[in-house]
Chain A
Amino acid sequence: MSDAAATTGPSATAGAGAASDILLSVEGIHSYYGAIHALKGVTLEVRQGEIVTLIGANGAGKSSTLRSINGLPSPKVRDGRIVFDGQEITHRPGHEIVKLGIAQSPEGRRLFPRMTVVENLEMGAFQRSDKSGLKEDLERVFSLFPRLAERKTQKAGTMSGGEQQMCAIGRALMARPKLVLLDEPSMGLAPIFVERIFETIVEINRQGTAVLLVEQNALMALDVASRGYVLEIGQVVLSGPAQDLRKDEKVRKAYLGE
């Protein structure tokens, strides 16, 4: 806690132009599930207003990276640090991190199955104290996903996978985050839903929210992202502008199936 002020103070102001538009910076984190060493020094950055994608095979550590950023109890970050919006958040409890402006739509959607769509969306705004913006934000989510507007009072657990995914993304947006973490939003969805989800991600970003997108569908992810990171067994093995990654021989072989 005390070293947060010391480390962010001088470096953030000294870097001026380049550093000040960095929203999230993950600096060499090592994360563990008990004795399992899941992240072995992951470093990445998200700048203001960017879409950044994190790609990699199953088990590479993509979800673990998002969970570490989000301050969930597992995996535990034992080394390295995470700085968000000028503050160190490495060991902050999850509920404080949400308040600072990071929201997540987790892998597998994880809606509250016995709550209605509207109740789920309202839970997304749990940490916000302004009641006034709530209605406005609900409208925003419904305009992004008109399908949800038709299902306001339906129990989330009874909806189709695509609808649940929309609700999960909408729920994350209800926090009015500066950065939204999306973990495999296209997983298990019909192609038509996948298109729709990716269009919406671009729209959300256009409206001013930075996005860190984890995807197995590397092709589409690199299409919408400005930069990307490739993760292998808990380490970043490649990073750069999305177009460059698309042209990269190794990426094409391993992740684009070409």
Chain B
Amino acid sequence: MTSDARTERLPRLLPRRLPSFTGFFGNLLVLVVVAWLLTNLAKTPGDFFQILLFGLSLGAIYALVALGYTLVYGILELINFAHGDVFMFGGTISAVFILEVFSLGSHEHWYVLWPVVAGCVVISMLICGILNVLIEMVAYRPLRNAPRLAPLITAVGMSFILQDVVLGWRGPNYITVPTTLPRSNIFAVGGVTYRWDELIVLLVTVPLLLGLVYLVQKTKQGKAMRATAQDREAAAMMGINVNRTISFTFLVAGALAGAGGLIYVLWQTQVRFDSGFRLGLISFTAAVLGGIGNLPGAVLGAVLIGLIQAFNEGLSWSAPGSDWTQSIVFSILILILVFRPEGLLGEKTPEGQ
């Protein structure tokens, strides 16, 4: 119950000797990756920078989803396995609105495109935010004091339900939207081309990330979120409405996933009932890599994973290629969980996520 008790409950299991041993192999691994990147940089510098820019945009979308995992974990110590599917739901809703409500064609004029994008961002964020709040109320809140495994199982159940709802609604095929984002080059210098759609992804994502930082650091609701995450009962003693704060956290996490879903659909132009599964697991890995519960960590982890994926799939010299992306990402997840469970930015104390 008290923080002292918590410390005792989670003793450090790893013997002291282990860090140096793992440190050696960790450093070796990093060294090999860096050498591989430098070789590619030397061989094809143009490709290298172009892929780096692409990886940043990919990482930005992962960041929106990873933040949802980390926010919810921070406040409930629950891995919300349905979160990737909330992202998918946002993508599906956005696709349906783009196709059937706004009937967007390919390469619309900017004065048509932007109001529709803005509208879709709001709609998708709102729907996914509310959906996430309802998920918490129905599937997690009644199990608040149950053993930890119970809400984990309902989370997996929720994930299947969302997939089945979309499967029943839109069928098993990809929902494809027209290419709406301009794909012309912003610049093409020395073999490095940077396209508008990649920049637009960042232009939508970065303000959302900054907005979240402001929300969590400066607003009263944000402070309530941090307090509740650090000690739920003490937060209640301060007069914080804990249930409302948890709902608010799910609202924010869902809204970010909703925004991510929209941007993903605009950029990749297709989404399907199971799109959230893979992307959700990749984003979850990003959150763990950065240190689950740690907001800047989630963004850092997402950008790193985005870059790793982009380099793996894009570089020409000795890259394993896209068939190996999932294996690589999950190998990272396993290595992190085994050797550095607190992640890159997480503190070592049990309550220091």
A-side residues, CB < 8 A to B, are: 70, 72-73, 93-95, 98-99, 103-104, 106-108, 110-115, 119, 122-124, 126-127, 157, 171, 175
Contacts and interface: CB of A to CB of B under 8 A. Distances in A.
Contact of B241 (A70, A93, A157): A93
A104 B237 contact: yes
B238 A106 contact: no
B326 interface: no
Contact of A70 (B237, B240, B351, B352): B237
11 contacts: A72-B233, A72-B237, A94-B237, A95-B240, A110-B233, A112-B227, A114-B226, A122-B223, A123-B238, A126-B238, A171-B238
Most buried by B among A94, A106, A108: A94
A32 B231 CA distance: 22
- Top-5 shortest CB links A-B: A98-B239, A127-B239, A108-B2, A110-B234, A112-B230
A110 B3 contact: yes
A94 B223 contact: no
B227 A95 contact: no
Contacts of A73: 236
Given A107-B2, A110-B2, A114-B352, A72 B236 contact: yes
Contacts of B352: 113-114, 157
B224 interface: yes
B317 to A, nearest CB: 44
Contact of A110 (B220, B231, B239, B241): B231
A124 B238 contact: yes
Contacts of A114: 226, 230, 352
Interface in B93-116: none
A72 B233 CA distance: 8
Nearest to A93: B241
Given A99-B239, A111-B234, A112-B234, A123 B223 contact: yes
Interface string B201-239: 000000000000000000010011011001101111111
Contacts of A126: 220, 223-224, 227, 238-240
Contacts of A108: 2-4
A110 B228 CA distance: 12
A104 B233 CA distance: 11
A119 to B, nearest CB: 7
A5 B226 CA distance: 37
B238 A115 contact: no
B223 A106 contact: no
A157 B349 CA distance: 10
B237 A98 contact: yes
Nearest to B223: A123
Contacts of A157: 349, 351-352
Nearest to A112: B230
A106 B234 contact: yes
A99 B241 CA distance: 11
Contact of B231 (A104, A112, A122): A112
Given A107-B2, A112-B226, A112-B230, A127 B237 contact: no
B237 A103 contact: yes
A93 B239 CA distance: 9
B150 to A, nearest CB: 16
Given A95-B241, A110-B234, A112-B230, A119 B3 contact: no
Most buried by A among B2, B3, B224, B230: B230
Nearest to A181: B237
A34 to B, nearest CB: 9
Interface in B228-269: 230-231, 233-242
Contacts of A123: 223, 227, 235, 238, 240
